[in-house]
Amino acid sequence: MAAPTREPLKYTGWDLQAVMGGIVRRGVDVANRRTMILLMLVALGARGATALADDYDEAVRLNNRGVALMGQQFTDKAADSFAGAIKADPKLEQIYVNEGIALLTLQRLDEAKVALQKAISLSAKNPQAWYNLGLAQHAGNDLDEALKSFQEAAKLDARDADSFYFEGVCYSEMKQYEEAIAVLKKTLEVNPLHASAEFALARALQRSGHTEEAKEHFKRFQHLTSAKVSAAIGLAYGEQGRYSTVTPIEEHEAASRAMISVTLEARPMIALAAAGKPDTSTGGACMLDVTGTGAMDLILMQAGERALKVLHRKPEGGFEAVDTDAAGLKVSGHAVSCAVGDYDGDGLNDLAVALEDRLVLFHNLGNGKFEDATGESGLTARNRPSGVTFVDFDHDGDLDLLVTGAGLKAGDAPNVLWRNNGNRTFTEWTEATGLGGKGKTAAAILTDFNNDRAVDLAITGDSPAPMIYVNPREGKYPTQAIYEEDKLAPSDGIAVLDFNKDGWMDIAVTHAGDPAVTLWRNVEGPNHIGRRFERVTLPLAGAQRGWGLTPVDIDNDGWIDLAVVVETAAGPRVRVLRNRGDGSFDDVSSALGLDRVTLSNPRGLIAADVDGDGATDLIVTQLNAPPVLLRNVGANKNHFARLDLSGYADNKTALGVKVEVFANGHWQKWELAGAVGYQTQPPPQILVGLGQAEGIDLLRILWPTGVLQDEVDLPKLAEGRVVIPMKEADRRGSSCPVLFAWNGKRYNLVTDVIGAGVVGHWFTPTRRNTPNPGEWIKVDGAKLVAESGKLSLRFIEPMEEVNYIDQLRLVAVDHPRGVEVNPDERFLDDPPFASGRVVASEGMRLPLRAWDGEQRDVTDVLSRRDHRFASGFRATPYDGFSNLHALTLDLGEIQPGAPLRLLMTGYVNYFSATSLYGAWQAGIKPISPYVEAQMPDGTWQRIPGEAGFPAGLERTIVVDLTGKLPAGVHCIRLMSNLEVYWDQVLVDQSDRAEARSTEVPLASATLHFRGYPRQTEGRSPGDLDYDYNRVSLTGPFQHQRGNYTRFGDVTDLVKGIDDRYVIFGSGEEIAAEFDQASLPKLPAGWTRDYFFYANGFVKDMDWWDASPFTVAQMPFHGMSKYPYPESERFPEDSGALKYQLDWNDRFDSGEPVHSYRFDYRDLPSSPAEDKSAGASLR
């Protein structure tokens, strides 16, 4: 590529599309952003001999660094970089455009307009400048000027649908609906898949009286977004059209990047076998810390009396054999492959060995000792294995086992899936998942190839093509062939890598014949639906057959290369294909010295930093010969990081984790895939080349159960390399929205609300939960103080859920002092649910005695509300579950004929859908609290019905036992296997306590983004508190994809139960003000408390919830269950359509748009203040 000239770059029509990698934006797409970063990296290649002036070079460098920083969500730094670029060379209009986009993202509208107008003054023919000027003017509500700018952009680029779309939006907001309809129809002519144009057209048609036509376009919008055919225009950077992203200025093509001097030196890992004792290696191998010393040992598959050989690297260098009998790794037979993973969650990686006739499982005891756990595990011979890998296929946090091979007899399926029961046993689960396959299979690898946060499986074998088994979350896996090309030999080895840095995992395959190795780029499917693969040309002349392969950054330059074992006419070879960074590869094998390496029947290939010097080595396994170490000499002139990941709620080995690394403007993505290549598994580590970056700026991790984690304060490099141990954050992903009350000085936590309104919660394979959408919460009158005549409450989502709120109410409950009032509320599994009525109590007393589940006296513990909790149970590996236990109460003397109620204050450490699934696998069913009474003969008799439990954080529930206890009985116990923590128990037998209720009118309800109040946890798990004034504007949470209610006044939506919801997500809140003016005066000696009522539904992002990642399939009050059958629908009448179009126009793509770190700051708030400080982030 020729060096760029000093003339301004001209971006017109599809010319910009070409610069942007040929992508037509249909809303936010991570791949598009990665393409931008990729092009920036291309631009950061070495400069040619014809260097331009220093000021131009510096401007381009700073511009392109700003582009990368925008892709990494460091918008402030990007704006500074663009400003520096302008200072270096103020004549490049594209830099002004980029600065304007950055300032627009930061909501610095006036400054953005200045930058964009400067760009236009340099080149009035730049449609991107006009487009973003229109966005800035529209954001400032200057509709006339915005309309002119979008019209100018559309005139310059008549094929940019987004310009026409925003022109139509301006007309619509100016209530010029006929003009809007005409322009929006033009938009759809340009791009028939423009989701936002469909929505805007439906709204314009509805508002101009064309209801039936509006319905059709709204249905079209729903199809486009729910099927992910296209995404709607959003609020965040990159979501406002293809012209809304910053653009790099290309310098020189990446092909000019010269590889630093690197050689691969062949060294034997152990001496040749002694005479008379031939080596019986079969080619399979994996790496595991067998000795417990922290070093990764090599486990070789062999045939004979000792089917395993372990090579340990000595501290002084070299390798020595480990006594496998002494280590407890004794097994005989013909071993073919092995898998490493912590199947029982004890923090030590275990070993599964596939022999040609059976499976063997070794449990790691620590200190270099193992035990054969095959019998205990339930693993038996169900096929003739050829490969094995651990995988958490059901995302429940433990590792399952997939075995490839051949059926035991003709017609049998070749693959066997063993589901981990969570109790060190496995159950065969092949038929239930449809993973059996056909013919003979060779290798399997796990990957999320379609980026839907569910781990898929790719399997090679004698089928015409390797098959991808697409994870459906529940039920049988559909399959997709990787390719449909004829004349390709059967596939053997397989690896995944994102070689082109577009955020989608590509697949490399070795073949048992021509063409030896193929690489398949992951691209968008037909009609923008799904994914498909297209072949990438590889420089492998003379290769006749392939065996092992592995991704590897051979020179630590930050681009992922590919190493393969092939057979050629000249003999077997290891070839290394270096990634040029432009979508192609160079064969650098000769430069690495590989043409001088002699091999004997090589099979497997493992990438590992064997000697810890910051350069990735290669280990070649051989058939009937010792392995060969290809030691990497020279790559550590570039910098290097090793990531040692360990799960917390996920599997401890972190298999299935997705990692993104940002370093000095460079970006790369990795998956920890378990088995890689052909019958091999590398160490469970990620080896990252950093080029000359001085460290990692941002490490972004997506754990298999959905936990997002950003890390920035990372260890520094030492001598150009660093080892980074990284443990999964202990993050609660879901609970329910929480309520804060204004006490005259600040907002304090009341509790969480409508936890029982969750929809789609997995209970059993045939049952989901029954949601209870309404809940009453007591707000202590002393903790809710009027401000300017208003009672102020804040209803906020602090975690990762979408909320559908239909009604908010506040009732004043007046009563004499000495009387306590509580709503009749508690979590019940099934209807009829609690009534919510006022329960007035006086003269309450403590139980005579109380004992917890371990028979400890907890009478004093339960005597007051002080966050000292009675528990007396043992937690299980499944969140929210414990052993079956009792809370025993001696109620003392009971007055015959009087009511009998227990006022029980406490909280539940909630179970999740995933923990319900995991417990079910282990044979554990949830047992909600129920009451047993001790009979006169000492036996215990169950009292019919549920006692219930607190539906979240601490609150008081009413357990009514009136008329339920046999005469003379005074000792009862609550039985449960849930983690319910009790703070206080009172006995209430009052029957004439007085109270009166008065509705407090809703004055206003406003929706906005608040951020995440700081969460603290007490001494007991799940005893949470929140500091409303200490807020982070970012957090480790995503939004579900779909349409949310627009920010602003939502009072009309929460007045009645009518399925017109306020839909809001993570970090957002409803600010509700209630007018106390009409409340009656309190009689002498009386006091006032309040009951807050919320009606709505909640959907979290748990992997085992129904449709967890979308707003769509909205719940409604008349549904029979959730998810509801096709015979039921959310209301579709004209009123429902008007509601959807008028209110729910805030689209969120669900894609990463900001940091996933908590960064707390003081953000005090009061009822009189504007709470929208963080609104610009979404």
Mean of pLDDT values over 190-217: 95
DSSP string, 451-501: -SSS-EEEEEESSSS-EEE---SSSPPPEEES---SSPPPEEEEEEE-TT-
| Amino acid present at 542 | G
The residues near 596 (Cβ < 8 Å, ≥ 6 apart) are 266
Instruction: Quote the pLDDT of residue 236.
Output: 80
Q: Which residue has the tokens 């940019």?
A: 160
| Amino acid present at 766 | T
Work out the pLDDT band at 36, boundaries 50, 70, 90.
Answer: very low
Instruction: Quote the pLDDT of residue 1153.
Output: 59
Radius of gyration of the chain (CA): 32
Instruction: Quote the pLDDT of residue 250.
Output: 61
Instruction: Quote the pLDDT of residue 271.
Output: 64
Work out the pLDDT band at 1073, boundaries 50, 70, 90.
Answer: very high
Q: Is the pLDDT of residue 199 over 90?
A: yes
**Strand runs labelled E in 797-890:** 801-816, 819-823, 838-842, 849-851, 881-890
Q: Give me the chain's average pLDDT, please.
A: 91
280-671 topology per CATH: Methylamine Dehydrogenase; Chain H (2.130.10)
1069: nearest Cα among 1170, 950, 943, 924: 1170
- Residue, of 1154 and 411, whose pLDDT is higher: 411
Instruction: Quote the pLDDT of residue 238.
Output: 81
Give per-residue pLDDT as tens, 907-921: 999 999 999 999 999
Q: Is the pLDDT of residue 227 over 90?
A: no
Give per-residue pLDDT as tens, 765-816: 999 999 999 999 999 999 999 999 999 999 999 999 999 999 999 999 999 9
Q: Which H helix or E strand runs over 791?
A: strand 790-796
Separation of first and last alpha carbons in the chain? 39
Instruction: Quote the pLDDT of residue 756.
Output: 95
Q: Which residue has the tokens 């005549």?
A: 789
Give per-residue pLDDT as tens, 862-871: 999 999 999 8
| Residue 793 to residue 1094: CA distance in whole angstroms | 12
Give per-residue pLDDT as tens, 1151-1165: 765 678 899 999 999
Domain 14-254, CATH: 1.25.40.10
How many whole angstroms from its chain centre is CA 193? 27
Mean of pLDDT values over 369-397: 97
Instruction: Quote the pLDDT of residue 40.
Output: 37
Work out the pLDDT band at 251, boundaries 50, 70, 90.
Answer: low
Q: Is the pLDDT of residue 17 over 80?
A: no
The total number of residues shown for the chain amounts to 1178
Q: Which residue has the tokens 């009386």?
A: 1086
Give per-residue pLDDT as tens, 543-594: 999 999 999 999 999 999 999 999 999 999 999 999 999 999 999 999 999 9
Residue 936 burial (C-beta neighbours within 10 Å; 0-12, 13-18, 19+): exposed
| Residue 1130 to residue 132: CA distance in whole angstroms | 37
709: nearest Cα among 1155, 1112, 1142, 1092: 1155
Instruction: Quote the pLDDT of residue 424.
Output: 96
Instruction: Quote the pLDDT of residue 682.
Output: 97
622: nearest Cα among 551, 561, 680: 680
| Residue 1064 to residue 804: CA distance in whole angstroms | 7
Percent of the chain with pLDDT over 90: 82
Q: Is the pLDDT of residue 973 over 60?
A: yes
Mean of pLDDT values over 729-736: 76
- Residue, of 313 and 335, whose pLDDT is higher: 335
Work out the pLDDT band at 663, boundaries 50, 70, 90.
Answer: confident
Work out the pLDDT band at 274, boundaries 50, 70, 90.
Answer: very low
Q: What pTM was estimated for this model as a whole? A: 0.87
Mean of pLDDT values over 338-343: 98
**Strand runs labelled E in 305-383:** 308-313, 319-322, 333-341, 350-355, 359-366, 369-372
Q: Which residue has the tokens 């009862």?
A: 972
How many whole angstroms from its chain centre is CA 787? 41
The residues near 703 (Cβ < 8 Å, ≥ 6 apart) are 647, 649, 650, 654, 657, 709, 728
| Residue 141 to residue 170: CA distance in whole angstroms | 10
The DSSP 8-state label assigned to residue 62 in this structure reads H
Q: Is the pLDDT of residue 289 over 70?
A: yes
Q: Helix 195-207 vs helix 211-226: angle between axes, to the nearest 10 degrees?
A: 160
Q: Is the pLDDT of residue 46 over 80?
A: no
Q: Is the pLDDT of residue 254 over 50?
A: no
Q: Is the pLDDT of residue 514 over 50?
A: yes
Instruction: Quote the pLDDT of residue 53.
Output: 47
How many whole angstroms from its chain centre is CA 512? 37
Note whether 1040 and 1099 are within 8 A (CB). yes
Work out the pLDDT band at 733, boundaries 50, 70, 90.
Answer: low
Helix (H, G, I), strand (E, B) or coil at 196: helix
Q: Is the pLDDT of residue 458 over 90?
A: yes
Give per-residue pLDDT as tens, 350-360: 999 999 999 99
Mean of pLDDT values over 297-324: 93
Residue 405, token pair as written in the block:
């091979």
Domain 844-989, CATH: 2.60.120.260
The DSSP 8-state label assigned to residue 828 in this structure reads -
Pairing outcome for strands 281-288 and 680-681:
parallel
Q: Which long-range contacts (CB under 8 A, 24 or more apart) does 404-408 make?
A: 404/437, 404/441, 404/442, 404/443, 404/444, 404/459, 404/461, 405/354, 405/440, 405/441, 406/440, 406/441, 407/383, 408/381, 408/382, 408/383, 408/384
Residue 624, token pair as written in the block:
């009937």
DSSP string, 1044-1058: EPPSEE-GGGGSS-S
Domain boundaries, the chain: 14-254, 280-671, 732-830+994-1178, 844-989
Q: Is the pLDDT of residue 647 over 80?
A: yes
Instruction: Quote the pLDDT of residue 586.
Output: 97
| Residue 791 to residue 862: CA distance in whole angstroms | 32
Note whether 1150 and 1039 are within 8 A (CB). yes
Give per-residue pLDDT as tens, 109-144: 999 999 999 999 999 999 999 999 999 999 999 999
Instruction: Quote the pLDDT of residue 235.
Output: 80
Three-state SS string over 1025-1041 comes to: EEEEEEEECCCCCCCCE
| Residue 1176 to residue 58: CA distance in whole angstroms | 31
Work out the pLDDT band at 486, boundaries 50, 70, 90.
Answer: confident
Instruction: Quote the pLDDT of residue 115.
Output: 98
| Residue 954 to residue 1022: CA distance in whole angstroms | 10
Residue 572 burial (C-beta neighbours within 10 Å; 0-12, 13-18, 19+): buried
Give per-residue pLDDT as tens, 590-629: 999 999 999 999 999 999 999 999 999 999 999 999 999 9
Note whether 165 and 187 are within 8 A (CB). yes
